[in-house]
Every structure is written in C-alpha cells, then in structure tokens.
C-alpha cells in the first residue's frame, strides 16, 4: 500500500510477518460475480469482526424506534390538546432530527471502520473491532460529511422537484392548471431518480478512498468519480442485489407490521418487540455486506487502473529487504 494507508500504526507488528508477506486473497482484476463471491468469503472468514462493527448502529436504531413507539403510546393515552399538542409535535420533530443525525454519524463511522477492516483482512493484516473503530473515530466528522455529500449528490434533484410540486399544489389548491403542473413535476421527480442513482454511484467509493488513502471530503469524492469513470454498471448490479435482499427482509417483516396494527395491549407489545428484535438481527447480519462489497470494488478498481497489487507487494518487499540486509562492512552468511 501507499504511505497513506490508514491502518499503519494501529498496533500491528510487521515483525510477525515473513520476509515477503502475501495478501490473504490474490490481488487481481475480478469480475462482478467474483467480487460478490469474495464479499461473502470475507464475511464468513471474519464474521464476528464485521457483525460486531454493525451491532452499534443496529442497536442505536432499535433504541430510537423503541423511544418513538413509547412516546407515541404515551401521546395516545394522554391525548394532548392545544398548546400541549404543539409542544408534543415539536418534541417529536426534535427527537426525529436528533435520531437522524446520530444515525448519519454512526453510519459514516461504521462504513469507515468496515472499509478499514476489509482492507486489512484482504491484504493479510491484523484487524479487530477496537482498531477499526479507533481508526474511524479519528476522522468521524470527515466520514459523516462524506456520507452527507453522497446523499446530496444523489437526491438533491428529486427533493428539489418534489418541493416544487408541493409548493405549486399548496399555492393554488383549487386551480386545475396548478394541479396539472404539480402532477407533471411529480412525474419528472420519478424520472429524476435515474439520475439520482447514477449520481450516487459516481461517489459510492468515497468512504474507502478516504480511509485507505487518507483523503479529505472533496478529494475522496473526486477520487471515487475517477475510479468509476467507465465501470458504474458493476456498482449498479451490487445495489440491485442489495435492494432485492432488503425487499426479502421487508417481506418477512410485513406480516408482523400488519399484526401489530390490528393487535392491542400485550399482544401489540410482544409483536413490536419481536419486530424490533428481527430488525436488529437483520441489520447486524445484512448491514456489512454492502460495505464489504463497496470496499472490494474500490480495491479492484485500483488493481485494474493503477497496478495496486504491484504497488502493495513492492511496499512490503522494501521493508523486508531493509531488515534482511547485513550491516555495512559485514558479510551475510
């Protein structure tokens, strides 16, 4: 690796390696199918590591949902009116905003920690949950900004069109022309999702680029665009696979949601509890798959474009040669 590797200096002792260390997996250009297969290989190999990294956001999500459900139940029992109703709405909006901000920060940290762990495991380095979070925690604000920048790149256009449609509709509720214009804007909003997906794919490798190469926000976004200049379809296939996976999970949770809506009392409580537990398990187990795959796509693009495999091997051979070389004036036996 280049000198910008983020895992250097995290407690790993190079003296434990052989004279010329080898990556745990062969560094060569891989097809999309091979990258997905290798994603699951790495996940199975270090399941406790990656699932352990995903536990934190999954647990925080469960706590946030539990608090929202408790507050909704409290509001339904007491049925506030007047000023109390407005205060309750403001409190609900504030709690939602805080929950979203915490989720974004944790998402950025966990994505960075997973990228570091994948790079370490893939290249045969030592990796642990503590070391991964230590690396990601040093620049947590940077990774949060990168996640926000990724979301903005993908969804600024659909959000702008939807806001425009709502504005037109609310400004002239009884006007047929306004309703038609709002309908056209809504249709264009759905069409703009094509651009949103394409724009998000362009910057999808920014987090691993920032972690591995120690880049700032703007440089990591630019780096992702450079690496994916002509191979965005592979990332699209990955996202489609993840989308299908989450659809299956949603289909499994849908019956629980229907039961929870129709049930009351202890039965509703048990249903919601089981649904939250299922969400925690699926978030922990499924969450790392996308982050692992994205990091592998990043490494594969560098192998294809920059000879990253040769660069990594040379960086390992040079220190080993320096250690094995005899001191000046002596003859190695």
Is the residue at 6 inside a domain? Answer: no
Residue 2, pLDDT score: 43
pLDDT at 61 > cutoff 90: no
Is the residue at 13 inside a domain? Answer: no
Range of lowest pLDDT (195-199, 202-206, 278-282): 278-282
Say if CB 127 and CB 46 are below 8 A apart: yes
Is the residue at 26 inside a domain? Answer: no
Is the residue at 48 inside a domain? Answer: yes
Across residues 235-240, what is the average pLDDT?
Answer: 93
Across residues 297-309, what is the average pLDDT?
Answer: 86
Residue 70, pLDDT score: 73
Is the residue at 17 inside a domain? Answer: no
Is the residue at 270 inside a domain? Answer: yes
- Burial of 180: CB neighbours in 10 Å, binned 0-12, 13-18, 19+: exposed
* pLDDT band at 1; cut points 50, 70, 90: very low
Residue 20, pLDDT score: 43
Is the residue at 138 inside a domain? Answer: yes
Say if CB 114 and CB 288 are below 8 A apart: yes
pLDDT at 225 > cutoff 70: yes
Say if CB 67 and CB 276 are below 8 A apart: no
Domain that holds residue 102: 32-312
Structural domain tally of the chain? 1
Across residues 227-249, what is the average pLDDT?
Answer: 90
**Does the global pTM surpass 0.85?**
no
- Percent of residues, the chain, with pLDDT higher than 90: 41
**176-181-184-190 Cα dihedral, nearest 10 degrees:** -120
Is the residue at 122 inside a domain? Answer: yes
Across residues 263-278, what is the average pLDDT?
Answer: 70
């Amino acid at each position: 690796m280049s000198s910008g590797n983020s895992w250097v200096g995290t407690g790993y002792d190079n003296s434990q390696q052989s004279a010329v260390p080898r990556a745990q997996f062969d560094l060569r250009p891989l097809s999309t199918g091979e990258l997905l297969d290798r994603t699951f290989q790495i996940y199975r190999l270090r399941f406790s590591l990656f699932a352990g990294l995903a536990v934190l956001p999954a647990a925080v999500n469960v706590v946030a949902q539990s608090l929202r459900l408790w507050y909704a139940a409290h509001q339904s029992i007491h049925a506030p009116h007047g000023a109390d109703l407005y205060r309750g709405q403001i409190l609900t909006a504030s709690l939602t905003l805080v929950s979203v901000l915490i989720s974004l920060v944790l998402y950025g940290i966990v994505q960075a920690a997973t990228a570091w762990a994948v790079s370490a495991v893939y290249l045969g380095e030592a990796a642990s949950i503590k070391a991964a979070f230590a690396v990601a925690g040093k620049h947590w604000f940077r990774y949060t900004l990168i996640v926000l920048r990724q979301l903005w790149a993908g969804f600024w256009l659909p959000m702008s069109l939807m806001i425009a449609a709502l504005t037109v509709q609310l400004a002239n509720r009884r006007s047929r022309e306004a309703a038609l214009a709002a309908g056209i804007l809504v249709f264009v909003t759905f069409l703009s999702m094509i651009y949103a997906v394409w724009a998000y794919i362009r910057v999808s490798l920014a987090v691993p680029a920032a972690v591995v190469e120690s880049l700032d926000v703007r440089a990591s976004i630019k780096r992702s665009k450079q690496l994916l200049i002509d191979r965005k379809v592979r990332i699209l296939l990955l996202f489609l696979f993840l989308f299908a996976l989450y659809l299956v999970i949603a289909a499994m949770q849908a019956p629980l949601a229907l039961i929870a809506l129709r049930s009351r009392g202890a039965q509703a409580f048990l249903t919601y509890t089981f649904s939250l537990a299922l969400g925690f398990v699926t978030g922990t187990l499924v969450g790392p798959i996308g982050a692992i795959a994205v990091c592998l796509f990043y490494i594969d693009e560098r192998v294809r474009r920059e000879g990253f495999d040769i660069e990594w091997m040379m960086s390992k051979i040079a220190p080993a040669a320096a250690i094995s070389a005899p001191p000046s004036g002596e003859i190695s036996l």
